[in-house]
Chain A
Amino acid sequence: MIPHDAPSAQEMLAAVREWMENDVLASTEGRLNFHTRVAINVLAMVERELELGPEQAAAHAERLAALGFEDDRALAAAIRSGAIDDDPTLAVQVRAEVLASVIDKLRVANPKYLSDGRG
């Protein structure tokens, strides 16, 4: 339970983002306009992370546990050592779990990327 009054962190981010979209974009051009777009994207990303972050953290931890690794560092080291390739069933499972986490990252960082221009 947090002690803060309304608005929530998400609501404050959304308010700033909407102001940038509605007012700042229209009154800037060139480099400043581009950097405003980048800033809007960053705020929208943080909003998505606040919404999806907790469930994604739990899912990521479950996937690592299912593979028997403590964190991405340990999994990366095992892949590099060749230990995963020695077991084809495990290799398939590792790729599936890693891809699932990559997709979760994209759902926060850039959800459009999952559907854009994919033939």
Chain B
Amino acid sequence: MSDVDRSSALTAALSDVLGGATIAGLQRLSGGASRETWKFVADGRALILQRQREGDVRDMGVEAAVLRAARIGGVAVPELIATSADEPLESGLQNPVGAAFMILGHVDGETIARKILRDDTYAVARQRLTADCAMALGRLHAIDPAAAPGLPAIDQVEQYRAVLDTLDQPHPTFELAFRWLEAHRTEPGPMRIVHGDFRLGNLMVGPDGLRAVLDWELAHIGDPLEDLGWLCVRAWRFGSAKPVAGVGEYDELIEAYREASCAAVDVEAVRWWEVLGTLKWGIMCIIQLQAHQSGASRSHELAAIGRRVCETEYDLFLALEGRW
């Protein structure tokens, strides 16, 4: 099928799923390794389609349940309009969109970190963003995990060590960091729903602040401080000197999160998760490179990310200086 045929087939399928709505302006936004994102208008309303790629084994129904639970819990998220799991189809019958999918309400705003961190339009947003993030996370972590059954609950140190081994690119720095993480584990917090990739790039930001938390595909059950530590990883400061998402200080985040969640937070525990997050990003850089090397997604951008591993190694040495 040509791209035009594919688009018109998808337009017809979307109309089918949305009760015969008139579909216009179907436009592909991005193609990640695991899913494609499309923007379109249905009966005058701007919507987003997220469609899973072949080979991705994650259950989108679980992610949809997390989105619903987050919305009920007061976290700003896009509205869930329809999913491939809504009406169980008879065995062997394909859903019309052709893969697991979610249709979401479109939220206006900006996701590109460099614009949010530098453009005058977001000057007020930058002042509010740390508190907005803390509020969103506080509300997310207050949700009863039973609201979204089926989320994985895997120890992150064990999980990423196993992932690193499958990549077959041993790094002495990573092993030093794993040893440190194991020797300095913090008291585990209560097991809650964590977003798993809460950072600029996955946050829809308007001039007024945080508008919606996007990209829930890495949500899982874990220690809530994982989300706080990840938000402070140096890669997610995008060149800014401020540790929290490039806009805030540790104290601001911890104080705002304490207010939102009524939970006291130990800054050292957040830093432990930041070290783990830095290590995770280093391993993810290798995964992105291998998406290029395997031919799954040939791209000089992905290839170049492989050479960012040493940035995360350097960050690990800085973070652990004087703490070995």
Contacts and interface: CB of A to CB of B under 8 A. Distances in A.
A117 interface: yes
A109 B282 CA distance: 14
A101 to B, nearest CB: 8
Nearest to A116: B239
Secondary structure of the B contact surface, majority rule: helix
A14 interface: no
Contacts of B173: 98, 102
Interface residues of B, number: 27
B24 to A, nearest CB: 23
Interface in B228-250: 237, 239-241
B175 interface: yes
Interface string B297-315: 0001101100111110110
A39 interface: yes
A38 B307 CA distance: 12
A79 interface: yes
B304 A95 contact: no
B175 A79 contact: yes
A115 B324 CA distance: 23
Contacts of B308: 109-110
B304 A42 contact: yes
Interface residues of A, number: 33
Secondary structure of the A contact surface, majority rule: helix
Contacts of B310: 102, 105-106, 109-110
Interface in B137-174: 170-174
B196 to A, nearest CB: 25
A42 B303 contact: yes
> 3 closest A-B pairs (Cβ-Cβ)?
A105-B310, A76-B170, A79-B175
Given A80-B175, A105-B313, A114-B314, 16 more contacts: A35-B300, A42-B303, A42-B304, A73-B170, A76-B171, A76-B172, A77-B170, A95-B317, A102-B310, A106-B310, A109-B307, A109-B308, A109-B311, A113-B311, A117-B239, A117-B241
Interface of B: 170-176, 178-179, 237, 239-241, 300-301, 303-304, 307-311, 313-314, 317-318, 324
